[in-house]
Structure 1
Amino acid sequence: MTASEAPVPGDPQAGPAGRATSTVYRLLVVGILLAISVAPTVVLSFLIAPHPSNVPLVVASALFVGPGLSAALFALGERARDDGLAPAGAFLKGYRMNVGDVLKLWVPGVAVLAALTWTTVNIAVAGVPAWWAGILLGLAAVVVLWLVQATVITSFFAFRGRDTARLALYFLGRLPRVTLAVLSVLVLAGAVVFLTTPAVLAVFGALLVALLLRWEKPLLSEVRLRFVES
């Protein structure tokens, strides 16, 4: 270790305890900002009447989740730490930098999800076999996985929208372990919402984002290695 790399005496972040405290603080701040950014989705989920016909409206309200998720991913990523950005500053920078690109993907993605859920809840009226509901739900799960992968890529790389869309779809099959890990995170998030309320998920969302980011490291590494010019 060189003199410039040696820890500064008295540095509160030196040592395991200091790093742990810094990590907890970053998670806490990012969690609060994430909860604020997805508050419209939480509020709308309470205001919309709990009726099967309103499920597409609840799905459509999830549009606010995309930019918040991207900002949280950026704030918890290595780039923000390497740049020495404070948690709040990193979150706001990630939000401003990626909101446009994220919405370009989330608007059509959420529209497709709303259409799939509307068709599913009205499948009996349509007079088609009930097993079609399983196919529609499977398609919805693929769309959600694709949205998450696309958001992760957008949070750290500046590709064109259609290129990000293709990469996200490509990596669903290219890295099946990552896809399964992401699916497990989504199942956990769904279980939290089902057993409690969306507000609880918003409060503890930063922990799930950190878990998601950990599992997405192979994807980010491969994107950087294969698709980013050095």
Structure 2
Amino acid sequence: MSVDTTRREFGTGPLARAAALIHTLLTAELLFLLCAAPGLTVLVLVGRDASNLPLAAACALPLGPAFSAVLGAVHHRGTDLADLRPARAFWRSYRQSLPGVLGVCLPPLAWCTVLALNIAHLGAAGLPGWWLVPLTLVLVTAAVWGVNALVIHALFAFRLRDVARLAGYYLTRTPSVSLGVACLLAVAVSLTARWSEAVPMLLVPVFALALLRISRPMIADLRKEFIA
């Protein structure tokens, strides 16, 4: 039997495909933890007091490039299961996204931090209780916009200002994506509140896979409307 025939026959069944996906997710998780280790260590150790939110945001900033690389590795995983190289895909995505991804992550992260501080100190600021609703809506919108921007930057080669505009545009262009991203963020926050920041960090590739599936309408529309 030739090598080509062996490669064609390898991985045609669902078990092999599932094993290949698990291999990709585990590899991406290990590399994510490696790249994000300094920030994650401090993030897990910092107290949950609202006054620590700026420090937590600073620790979370390096997670952006690492998560972008996970998105790239999961999205661009090869169809040839005999030639799986998720580590190479991760590092390629990491190198490509690193120069601009901090610019993508910093604005929404800063906005979310300011809004979260205002929500946490609503009474001290002398604001009425009903302000909690609009502030929370703006916080969720900023977070979804940031996630959209991260997905677009990870998968496409747009300029940063175009990434920001497209991320805002698709908030209403694909409402199902916005709702799905908001639900995914709610799950991550719930896991953090119920257990620890470490729990969602250990599920990063699963979140990345779910995010890519949720974002399919946005990704397809981007390719159709903006990719020549």
Q: Quick one: structure 1 residues 93 and 32, their matched pair in 2 at CA, closer, same or farther if it must change by over 3 Å?
A: same
Instruction: Give the match for residue 52 of structure 2.
Output: 54
Instruction: Give the match for residue 153 of structure 1.
Output: 152
Say whether the 8 Å CA contact 2:32–2:67 is kept in structure 1: yes
AA in 1 matched with 2:88: G
C-alpha distance after superposition, 1:91-135 (max 9, x if no partner): 111111011221111112212222212222222222121222332
Pair 1:131 & 2:130 matched: yes
Measure the CA separation in 2 of the matches of 1:20 and 1:184.
25
Which of residues 17, 21, 24 in structure 1 aligns to 2:22?
24
Pair 1:81 & 2:113 matched: no
Q: CA deviation at 1:146?
A: 0.5
Say whether the 8 Å CA contact 1:116–1:136 is kept in structure 2: yes
Alignment of 1:1-230 (within 5 A): 7-8=5-6, 11-77=9-75, 79-81=76-78, 86-229=85-228
Measure the CA separation in 1 of the matches of 2:220 and 2:101.
20
Q: Quick one: structure 1 residues 141 and 7, their matched pair in 2 at CA, closer, same or farther if it must change by over 3 Å?
A: farther
- Say how many residue pairs are matched: 224
Q: CA deviation at 1:9?
A: 6.3
AA in 2 matched with 1:174: R
AA in 2 matched with 1:146: W
AA in 2 matched with 1:75: A
Say whether the 8 Å CA contact 2:32–2:70 is kept in structure 1: yes
Measure the CA separation in 2 of the matches of 1:24 and 1:206.
10
Q: Quick one: structure 1 residues 109 and 65, their matched pair in 2 at CA, closer, same or farther if it must change by over 3 Å?
A: same
Q: Quick one: structure 1 residues 85 and 67, their matched pair in 2 at CA, closer, same or farther if it must change by over 3 Å?
A: farther
- Could you tell me the percent identity over the aligned residues? 33
Q: CA deviation at 1:82?
A: 5.4
Q: Quick one: structure 1 residues 133 and 41, their matched pair in 2 at CA, closer, same or farther if it must change by over 3 Å?
A: farther
AA in 2 matched with 1:86: R
Say whether the 8 Å CA contact 1:178–1:218 is kept in structure 2: yes
**Structure 2 length normalisation: TM-score?**
0.89
Q: Quick one: structure 1 residues 7 and 201, their matched pair in 2 at CA, closer, same or farther if it must change by over 3 Å?
A: farther
Q: Secondary structure, in 3 states, of the residue corresponding to 1:158?
A: coil
Between 1:114-123 and 1:186-195, the stretch displaced more is 114-123
CA RMSD of aligned residues (A): 2.2
C-alpha distance after superposition, 1:61-115 (max 9, x if no partner): 22122111110110011x3425966111111111110112211111122122222
